[in-house]
Structure 1
Amino acid sequence: MKVVGLTGGIASGKSTVSKTIQSLSIPLIDCDLLARLVVEPTHPCYHKLVQHFGTVILQSQEMGQPLDRYKFGTIIFSDPVQRRVANGIIHPAVRDEILKRLFKLWIRGTSLVVIDVPLLLEGELWRIVSEVIVVYCPPEVQLERIKSRDGLSEEDALARINAQRPLIEKVDYADHVIYNTSDLESLKTATLKVIDSIQPNPFWTVLAYFPPFTILLAGWVMAKRHFKGDPRTMMDSKSKKEDSTTAAAAAAAAQQQPASSS
């Protein structure tokens, strides 16, 4: 079974790409849906979140009540430390749910499955996918879409964008990029083209059901990702380089300013 990772950013058009993939009868594991599942009152993850953040993140602020997503989002999107804590609780729970579903799909004889993960490259799941698809759109387009779609102020919309890695950094690590810079029909056409290119070879799909080859193929996928490098390290390196370039340019510009007369 070939496992492909799909990622992007908030309001990048990833949801449209996901729907197009599902329309082709390709199994898709939606991590946003799983993230909602693990914060339900019946899930252990819910209790860990309440233990750390308190009942202030719940509707009516009473134990057993559903999560108040607006309050919770306001807390984690405005505080990087709290966001890391929340991710440290939610991500492992989502990962476990993904692995359960992958195992079931493998048992059924599925040849290709796509995992839709907003934070694919920021977490650990990049290690288990054979290829990475990134949906990209310019940041100014993201901003306008979020403001229009969610009715947010520009400040709140920017907070949500800045809480994620810049999409351009993810593009550098991608095996396939779907550019969402035009109309909806163009986005669907680009998606179909990428999906056609990632279809697995039937021969390897059959071999994957023999334990020795299953282990070899899994090892090959992990080795491939390992040699490509940790995307977090690569993105951090690029970010630092860009910050240094920006600082150098600002310093040079400051030196060129004429001295003020006394």
Structure 2
Amino acid sequence: MRVVGLTGGIASGKSTVVSTIKTLGVPIIDCDLLARLVVEPTHPAYKKLVNHFGTVILQNQEMGQPLDRYKFGTIIFGDAAQRKVANSIIHPAIRDEILKRLFKLWVKGTSLVVIDVPLLLEGELWRIVSKVIVVYCPPEVQLERIQSRDGLSAEDALARINAQRPLIEKVDYADHVIYNTSDLESLKRSTLEVMDALKPNPVWTVLAYIPPFAALLVVWEITRRHLKGDPRKTKPTPKNSSAPAHAS
């Protein structure tokens, strides 16, 4: 089973890419949904968060009540140390949920799965996928789209962009880049081209169900990522932001 990580940025066009992939029948693991799941009262991560931050992060400040997202956000976004603690609890919980779903898909005989991860790089999840797709558009295009879509001022729109890792940095981690710099049809066409290139070889798909070979494949993919290292630490200069209409 080939596992592909998909990421992008605000107003980059990732939602359109996800919708296009769904038309192909490729399973998608939505990490936004998992992020909400792991802070539910029934999940082990919920108790870990409460043990550290206290019931102040809960609605009505009562154990068993849902997370007060506004209050929790105020705490972690205003304090880097607290944010680091929260991420150390939430990111592993999301990773475990991803692995559970991957195992179920593998058992079903799925040959290709896409993990939709906004924080694919920040959460180090790029190290456990076979391929990385980044949906890219220039910052000025992001700014224009956010203002048009959300009715925000240039200052507010820019603040949202700056709150995320720059898309040009994410490109350095990509095996495939979908450049969203043209119209909607071009974006869909580029997505289909990339997905066609990612189709696993049928022979390898069959071999992946032989236990010893499957274990070797997993070990190889993880080792390959680690040996490759962090591109932002090994590349001396960032890539040029100019790009063709699409590439794979």
SS at structure 2 position matched to 1:35: helix
Query: TM-score if structure 2 supplies the norm length?
Result: 0.84
Q: Which is further off, 147-156 or 39-48?
A: 147-156
How has the CA–CA distance of structure 1 residues 87 and 174 changed in structure 2, closer, same or farther, with 3 Å as cutoff?
same
Match of 1:208 in 2: 208
Query: TM-score if structure 1 supplies the norm length?
Result: 0.80
Which letter maps to 2:118? P
Match of 1:6 in 2: 6
The CA RMSD over aligned residues, in Å, is 2.5
Tell me if structure 2 keeps the 8 A contact 1:4–1:115. Answer: yes
Distance in 2 separating the partners of 1:182 and 1:17: 14
Tell me if structure 1 keeps the 8 A contact 2:75–2:82. Answer: yes
Q: How many residues align?
A: 238
Cα distance, 1:30 vs. partner? 0.8
Note the alpha carbon deviations across 1:21-52, whole angstroms, 9 max, x for none: 11211011111110011111221212222333
Q: Which ranges in structure 1 are unaligned for 5 or more consecutive residues?
A: 240-262
Tell me if structure 1 keeps the 8 A contact 2:172–2:231. Answer: no
Tell me if structure 2 keeps the 8 A contact 1:39–1:45. Answer: yes
Match of 2:67 in 1: 67
Match of 1:255 in 2: none
Which letter maps to 1:89? I
Cα distance, 1:19 vs. partner? 1.7
Distance in 2 separating the partners of 1:184 and 1:77: 34
Which letter maps to 1:125? L
Quick check: which one's helix share is greater?
1
Q: Report the structure number with the largest CA radius of gyration.
A: 1
Tell me if structure 2 keeps the 8 A contact 1:29–1:115. Answer: yes
Cα distance, 1:159 vs. partner? 4.5
SS at structure 1 position matched to 2:40: coil
Distance in 2 separating the partners of 1:104 and 1:29: 12
Match of 1:189 in 2: 189
Distance in 2 separating the partners of 1:134 and 1:28: 15
Map residues 215-234 of structure 1 onto 2, 5 A cutoff. 215-231=215-231, 233-234=233-234
Note the alpha carbon deviations across 1:223-262, whole angstroms, 9 max, x for none: 3212321246348x658xxxxxxxxxxxxxxxxxxxxxxx
Match of 1:86 in 2: 86
